[in-house]
Structure 1
Amino acid sequence: MARRFDHSSEEICTMALHWVRQYLEEDTAENLSLRKIAKGIGYSPGTLINLFGSYSYLLLRVNADTLDKMSVEMTAGLAEISDPQAQLEFMALSYLNYAMAHPQRWRLVFELRLASDEDIPDWQQQRIDALLTRLKAILSELNPDAADSALEQTARVIWAGVHGISFLAVEDKLFSPSHLNNSEMISALIRHYLTGWISNTLAQ
């Protein structure tokens, strides 16, 4: 067991988060525990609670890192894509690809439940808001006359659909015919939804 002064607080946090990320590449969050993390890095559970505030907040830090990595993959190539619809499809497919490549880390983002007395920290909410802001900006290019409330709703609806397909793909429960694939389904969802959304806006 490491002594408390072997590493700084920042180093212990980094060690814990790295250990959890590595663990989730091989096993599920359901089999994870604060005690396992503490044992894995050679510190006590109490030390981790003191540093992170709670087990949930420790996992939330892991989720923040996951969102950062997804954001990088989803936006890295956008500057090279001029068509807004193609940008949305690129982001959606990047999201799907991350979910398929790192299913346990991806699941934890949506399965983690905070205690009733624990609020989502600003640093996590800002990450979520940044994704929606990016989506709304792209949708605004496609439909400049849309109100902000319509952009907000459309961004959430599209991402709910993308998330649903991604979830079923990760769980292997799409039951789709062999001639269909997950990427084509996501692209079809975006194309058809956007066509209807833009048409309805113009008709109002």
Structure 2
Amino acid sequence: MGRRSDHSREELTALMIRAGTELMAQKGFVAFSAREVAKRVGYTIGTVHNVFGNVDGLVTAINTASFGDWADALEASLATAKGDRIEALVRAYFSFARENPHRWAAIYDHRPARETLSPAQQETRGRLMRIVAAEVAAVLHRPIDDALGTFARSLVATVHGHCSMAITGSWAAMGQHDPEDAALARVRESLAAAHRP
């Protein structure tokens, strides 16, 4: 029987996100089970639906928390960067994916409709790109506008492609090595080209 009066809605939300994050890290998106999350916190699946609306809402909340942790990791890397801050970002991108492969993959495996995201969730999810855009703007000595935002997203896509192929083993299967160095080289080339008039 669920302990329906033991926790407030806010406490239940935090409990389920924490338990769901642990389960996602262990099992990945394909094997994820909201029923297992409910079991781990001692409530019924009905309580999960009551708190998050549906399983999609729970996964969205878990992935939003992952975005927050990922942005924290980027900021921590930048805080200790002694030289090239772009390199620090690229290395931190790979590091988070390597250390949290299931959580990282779940962000891309689950695609909630943008209109289902709360303003707070959109803010948390957008933080990572704001960090990247700020560093790109600093390198290029340009303001953060729509064009720079698009360029920064393209750089992230470049790094993501290399990272995805590294995590899945595709990079090594092609006989390639050092995907981080290759991704960093492509980013530097793009930044150098953007500097040209």
The residue identity in structure 2 corresponding to 1:125 is Q
Structure 2 residue aligned with 1:25: 25
What stretches of structure 1 move > 4 A for 4+ residues in a row? none
Q: 1:98 to 1:79 in 2, by over 3 A?
A: closer
2:7 partner SS: coil
From 159, 163, 184, the equivalent of 2:160 is 163
Deviation per CA, 1:119-153: give whole Å up to 9, x if none.
22212221233222222222222222578233112
Give unmatched runs, 5+ long, in structure 2. none
Query: Superposed, which structure 2 residues align to 1:51-90 within 5 Å?
Result: 51-81=51-81, 86-90=84-88
Give unmatched runs, 5+ long, in structure 1. none
1:2 partner SS: coil
The residue identity in structure 2 corresponding to 1:182 is P
Distance 2:88 2:103 in 1: 21
Aligned-residue offset at 1:34: 2.1
The residue identity in structure 2 corresponding to 1:134 is I
TM-score normalised by the chain length of structure 2: 0.88
Deviation per CA, 1:51-72: give whole Å up to 9, x if none.
1122111111111211111111
The residue identity in structure 2 corresponding to 1:39 is K
Distance 1:145 1:7 in 2: 49
Identity %: 26
Aligned-residue offset at 1:173: 0.8
Structure 2 residue aligned with 1:187: 184
Distance 1:90 1:140 in 2: 15
Deviation per CA, 1:7-28: give whole Å up to 9, x if none.
3323322222222222123212
Structure 2 residue aligned with 1:103: 101
Considering only aligned residues, what root-mean-square deviation do their CA atoms show, in Å? 2.2
Q: Looking at CA atoms only, which structure, 1 or 2, has the larger radius of gyration?
A: 1
The residue identity in structure 2 corresponding to 1:47 is T
Aligned residues: 196
Distance 1:111 1:126 in 2: 20
